[in-house]
């Protein structure tokens, strides 16, 4: 039977809810051996494997808790689980004892790499992150794949929507969406002594970016050629169950801030009778995120 996504576990007691996309790739590389000048392969060998998972979710608060803004390391890989739930013919799901689980291994670290959060004009913002499985010594396989498993119960967490963006204290008018790119530049996974699996990876650069989409072009006229950033604040409003949004004054919303950097105008375009669209690229120095903020003007 086919499988579908399920809540991921990204550390002891750390759950990622409302997963919308889940993938796992062992990334196996092979080596072919041939006799002198031969066209046909004589033998084949496994050279390396760098297993990784990719997760997308609308549980933005849970994502930021697990991944942070500069990544996170789960030192005991056994606390990381990427499950897949088995469907039932002519029904929903088979249930207990029938599911597939990818799981980290004890003492093998797992690196959590936040990539993007995208907030559209309407609908649910989506976060995407990468999960890298490292070996304890380069030879121990850092993950397992196990079938016929019973999965932990799922819970529904919060959902969010687009909120206001302020640049240098001023509200960005006619703003229709923004995205956060965490901008983590990692080294290549490191293999030593001819090991099959990587046992190290290093964070080399951090270049966070917030890109804002607007339908009022006037703001771009004030930043010809770019300008400096004193402060940037971008909000995601928490949705209220059975209603619209939690009150702005309630400290339950998500806030992203920059304290310095550059603002760069991007292309503006319009076509026929439709509204035009323009972009603002905000290149910050240090990104700070809060999952318990009120929505207020800075």
Over residues 212-253, the pLDDT tens digits come to 999 887 887 778 778 888 999 999 999 999 999 999 999 999
Structural domain contains residue 249: yes
Average pLDDT score, the chain? 94
Structural domain contains residue 34: no
Q: Which domain holds residue 117?
A: 3-28+46-293
Structural domain contains residue 33: no
Region at 174 (left for phi over 0; alpha for psi -120 to 50; beta for the rest)? left
Lowest mean pLDDT among 86-90, 263-267, 287-291: 263-267
pLDDT at res. 270? 81
Structural domain contains residue 171: yes
What is the mean pLDDT of the segment spanning 34-61? 96
Structural domain contains residue 166: yes
Structural domain contains residue 128: yes
Look at the block and give the residue holding tokens 């397992």.
Answer: 144
Over residues 92-131, the pLDDT tens digits come to 999 889 999 999 999 999 999 999 999 999 999 999 999 9
Structural domain contains residue 298: no
Q: Domain tally for the chain? A: 1
CB distance 67 to 75 below 8 Å:
no
Q: Return the percentage of the chain with pLDDT > 70, whole number.
A: 100
Report the 3 state secondary structure along 123-141: CCCEEEEEEEECCCCCCCC
Structural domain contains residue 36: no
Q: CA 165, CA 249: separation in Å to the nearest integer? A: 16
């Amino acid at each position: 039977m086919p499988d579908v996504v399920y809540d991921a576990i990204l550390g002891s007691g750390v759950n990622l809810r409302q997963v919308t996309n889940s993938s796992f790739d062992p990334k196996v590389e092979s080596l072919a051996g041939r006799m002198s000048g031969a066209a046909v392969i004589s033998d084949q060998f496994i050279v390396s494997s760098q297993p990784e998972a990719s997760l997308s979710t609308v549980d933005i608060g849970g994502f930021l808790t697990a991944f942070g803004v500069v990544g996170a390391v789960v030192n005991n890989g056994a606390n990381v689980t990427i499950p897949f739930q088995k469907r039932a013919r002519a029904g929903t799901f088979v249930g207990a004892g029938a599911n597939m689980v990818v799981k980290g291994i004890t003492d093998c670290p797992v690196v959590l790499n936040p990539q993007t959060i995208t907030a559209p004009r309407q609908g649910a913002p989506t976060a995407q992150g990468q999960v890298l499985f490292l070996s304890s010594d380069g030879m121990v396989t850092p993950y397992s794949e196990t079938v016929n498993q019973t999965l932990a119960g799922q819970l529904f967490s919060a959902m969010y929507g687009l909120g206001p963006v302020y640049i240098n204290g001023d509200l960005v008018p006619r703003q229709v969406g923004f995205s956060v790119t965490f901008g983590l530049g990692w080294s290549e996974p490191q293999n030593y002594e001819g090991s099959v699996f990587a046992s190290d990876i290093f964070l080399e650069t951090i270049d966070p970016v917030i890109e804002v989409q607007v339908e009022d072009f006037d703001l771009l006229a004030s930043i010809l050629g770019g300008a400096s950033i004193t402060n940037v604040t971008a909000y995601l409003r928490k949705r209220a169950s059975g209603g619209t949004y939690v009150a702005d004054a309630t400290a339950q919303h998500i806030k992203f801030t920059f304290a310095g950097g550059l603002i760069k105008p991007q292309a503006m375009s319009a076509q026929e009778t439709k509204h035009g669209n323009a972009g603002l690229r905000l290149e910050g120095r240090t990104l700070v995120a809060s999952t318990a903020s009120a929505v207020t003007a800075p």
